[in-house]
Structure 1
Amino acid sequence: MEKAAKIYIAGHRGMVGSAIHRKLEKEGYHNLLLRTSSELDLRNQQAVADFFAAEKPDYVFLAAAKVGGILANSTYKADFLYENLAIQNNVIHQSYLNNVKKLMFLGSSCIYPKFAPQPLKEEYLLTGLLEPTNEPYAIAKIAGIKMCEAYRTQYGCNFISAMPTNLYGFNDNYHPQNSHVLPALIRKFYEAKLNSSAEVVVLGTGNPLREFLFSDDLADACFYLMQNYDEAEFINIGTGKDISIKNLALLIKEVSGYEGELVFDTSRPDGTPRKLMDVSKLHARGWRHKIELEEGIRIVYSDFVKNY
């Protein structure tokens, strides 16, 4: 990407988009197109068409999406399907119509089949049934990946897709019901310590295994791939390491300094038993994560205490 290129970051105020924004500015890119959702509703086809026609971006990072944890995905199935399809349909199609040089679409590791072999290789997509609790979101994201492939095949567009693992970082969602597991636990332990609560309840058995990547590492990988990757097949982004939800809770408990008990609510769903990415393809291309989980949790816990 040329330093003077006009780069549109869709979703620049979210956790992923803001990390990409910081990375680009750090690398000397300042001709950035940024619009809040109130300034540009990406679900609105005409508004997106007008924006692209007026601004003519050279490069696009598509990091805008409606996201949430198990509870949010189970509750708002129609919203997750409709809004994500609308956002990506509008941005990808207008990128084609307005001759964008390169677009990156971001999927999510939760769109792999529920019982796919571990670790998850790129070729396992669409080889089995999805996790029911987030099926609408997964279907939308799969459609986005296939859309990038189709526009590449039919129109010759250089549209690439990346598949991040579970993410955490600055500007995360700490909503008590709609957040993902790591930020949800950070909030729970902080509030339990603040209120001298005797126990913290963790949803599920604590047995599922999850992989976590710091959002600034993801942004570094996205930047690297935009410079060095031009293939039709999507590529996994992760650490290649996982941890049980129980051990994650114990780690956050230690970081927070909370001294009460952990209780597991086994009446709540666990979701997919294990979700570890095979990142050998990315490693072979020369990129690896830099921030390990404990260091990353200490960074975001400190940020949470300071800003939330």
Structure 2
Amino acid sequence: MNVRVGIDIGGTRIDAAAVAEGRDGDHRILLQHAVPTVRGREGIREGLRTAYTQLLERLGTERPVASLGIGVPGIVSGGRVSHAVNLGLDGDPFDLAAEAGALTAVPVRVDNDVKAAAWGAAQWLRATDGAGADVDLALLNVGTGLAAGLVLNGSLRRGARGLAGEIGHLVTDRSGPPCPCGKRGCLELYASGGGLARRWSGSAAQLMVAAADGDAHAQLVREDLVAGLAQAVRILVQATDVEQVVLAGGVVTSTPALQGALLAELRSHGADSGFEQHLAVHERVRWLPEDYPAGSVGAALLPGEG
């Protein structure tokens, strides 16, 4: 089996994983390691070096690495990253592929973090459901922001400009609050961890409890959160007709009450519409396990050139 390393650069930590890949496409996670994220070019450069070298030290020399893949927020083109504001990588593109290439002689691939996580979710479905090579899914990542990754008929969809799945900045309310992207009323202002934090001081689980207890503000925030998530799922299904929409991120995966509310909303939306019944959106929803490192696994197994 080939050993491939994947690194998922997040806003708070950098997760690395060593993954053994079999000839028939199966995989096994050999080792995981994480280091804190430090914003800025020098911080990301040093964090990448530390995560990779420490993982190799733990892996040992008896298992040589065949490739290194990296998932990172922002727009990725030719191994260069731009608009990764949460990492302090704004301004001129940051050549992350070159930085990684200085650490290793193995092939390096770099892609957007949500796209890498979507590829990781595809590997999870193949392992758990026996999904074939033509697995068809959208990963909806509910993190600080809101974005999707697409694996269509077994192929990772990046898009003409690397922006496939960037649905978080679709405007859902033109008179809504300003978004850091420069627009107003974007979907992720309502349906994301960051959007929730702007309107509610506790966790999603605490929100659901407070709303059930009659807290009027909590009920309003819950309504917007559930409606926004449902809208995001419907957008993905109607735009791509994917077989499954896999939701990831602690906001949804660790909150059963929110999962139930979302499924109920999807079932009730257009209940009298034959079109909605044919879509059967609620039947396509899956929850990515919290303990499955889709970002680092997907980065390790990234196909083609990033």
TM-score of the pair, normalised by structure 1: 0.34
Decide which structure has greater strand share: 2
Q: What TM-score does the superposition give when structure 2 sets the normalisation length?
A: 0.34
